[in-house]
Amino acid sequence: MGDTDAPRTFVIIGNGVAGTTAAETLRKGDATARIILIGDEPHPLYNRVALPKVLKGITAPERTFIKTLAWHTDNNVELLLNTTVVRIDPERQLVETDTHGAFTYHRLLVATGGTPNLLNVDGARGTKGIYHFQTLDDTTTILDRIRKSKHAIVTGGSFIAYELTEGFRHHGVRTTWMIRGTRFLHRILDAEGGAFVDRLAKAVGVETVYEDEITSVNAGADGEISSVNCRSGAIIDCDLLGAGLGLRMRIECLRDTGVKVNRGIVTNEFLETSVPNIYAAGDVAEFFDVSIGTHNQMGTWNNAGSHGKTAGANMLGARQEYREVPYYTSTMFDSQMAAIGIMPESVPTMEALGRMNEERGVYRRLFFHEGRLAGAALIGDIRIRRQLMDMIRSQRQVSNAEREQFLTV
């Protein structure tokens, strides 16, 4: 099917920030196109970044909504909720859903994000009191449970594991944070940064355990979690378990399509996949990042939104390269943290320089790619992030004096 004078049909899978921003961009650029936005959650776009505050009970769930159902109607965007795309047929340019039949498309965007890796140990399946943290509905369910809990365990060394730990302890629940590696974010922070986070955790009463992991889960006769067994031989009693074990990408609907996938969906710098008229955006896109000359994948809100804009523009016929410096900021117990630009998970060969100022409680770690600043991790005073983002954008070689200046805290 090619472009004709008849209105075009754009189909978007996933109504997160990437998919919804793409729908908005498409509507701005084409007043008559048919736009179908399909999502398997029951809600229009809400702010995932606000979920940790919902978990703490600081923000009401309804305050997280960014788009109303009426916005979709007003903008003539057909929103299908509780609907899963189960198959794509690139030959016929068709997507099949589980509950709303099939739709043909001129251009298709896959913005399906990821889903949490499940805690896959003996006894975990079917045991009550084990939670993963990804959606608004997860958050309200966990919040109900926290209010009845006394001792929580969190497993994982990711940002999500941190958010669960912080959420639990915020409610006064005794919290043990178990990390399989030697420290939090072990690829991003060095030993000094990891030790700093450990001090921040302990200062608010969190019990930390490193180089250990849960090997099985025990439940009482009521099916509720009662304790976990650890590789070290320890048995820890608990009535709540949070798992932050990373994401698996939602690429299952691309099976047998010929679209090139790796961990995510591989795209070029225009967010086009290997199959004509199919684009990918957001967390799921493993895009060619012109700033580092290689493929890259991000898990940040602003990257996903910017991807949505770029993909939408290109689906309309533009040739925009994706060029943004992503950043992620969050609390870090009673301090704060920022991760900017490219992280060593994407480019493990980057040169890294770290510095800790104990007195001021400030930590910085900078990542250089071929002599240029590519990324940074900051804890404590993170105000320098704008300056660092400008330097990353400039793509110029950083002198030793400038390196020293950025590291001086």
Ligand X SMILES: Cc1cc2nc3c(=O)[nH]c(=O)nc-3n(C[C@H](O)[C@H](O)[C@H](O)COP(=O)(O)OP(=O)(O)OC[C@H]3O[C@@H](n4cnc5c(N)ncnc54)[C@H](O)[C@@H]3O)c2cc1C
Give residues in contact with ligand X (CB under 6 A): 13-14, 16-19, 38-41, 48-49, 51-52, 84-85, 111-113, 133-134, 160, 163, 250, 253, 282-283, 299-302, 304, 328, 330
**Cα 77 from Cα 68, distance rounded (Å):** 12
SS3 content of the chain, % helix, strand, coil (to 5): 25, 30, 40
CB of 159 to ligand X, least distance (A): 7
What single-letter DSSP state applies at residue 222? Answer: T
Give 143's contacts (C-beta < 8 A, 6+ positions apart): 54, 55, 57
Q: Shortest Cβ distance from residue 218 to ligand X (Å)?
A: 27
Residue whose CB is less far from ligand X, 123 or 344: 344
Please give the Cα distance from 92 to 276 (Å, whole number): 12
- Closer residue to ligand X in complex, CB, 227/296: 296
Beta carbon of residue 129, minimum distance to ligand X (angstroms, whole number): 19
Question: Whose Cβ is closer to ligand X: residue 51's or residue 243's?
Answer: 51
Q: How far is the CB of 26 from ligand X (least distance, A)?
A: 15
Tokens 């997160």 locate to: 16
CB 339 within 8 A of CB 328: yes
Specify the residue, 52 or 123, whose C-beta has the smaller distance to ligand X: 52
Contacts made by residues 100-103, CB under 8 angstroms, sequence distance 24+: 100/38, 103/9, 103/11, 103/36
Query: Min. distance of Cβ 181 from ligand X in angstroms?
Result: 21
Least separation, in Å, of the C-beta of 84 and ligand X?
4
Count Cβ atoms below 10 Å from residue 260 Cβ, excluding itself.
13
In terms of CB distance, is 111 or 228 closer to ligand X? 111
| DSSP letters spanning 125-148 | TT-BTEEE--SHHHHHHHHHHHTT
Smallest gap from residue 247 Cβ to ligand X (A): 8
CA dihedral over 48, 53, 56, 59, signed as positive or negative: negative
Rg (C-alpha) for the chain, rounded Å, is 22
Which CB atom, from 46 or from 270, has the smaller least distance to ligand X? Answer: 46
Question: Nearer Cβ to ligand X, position 20 or 291?
Answer: 20
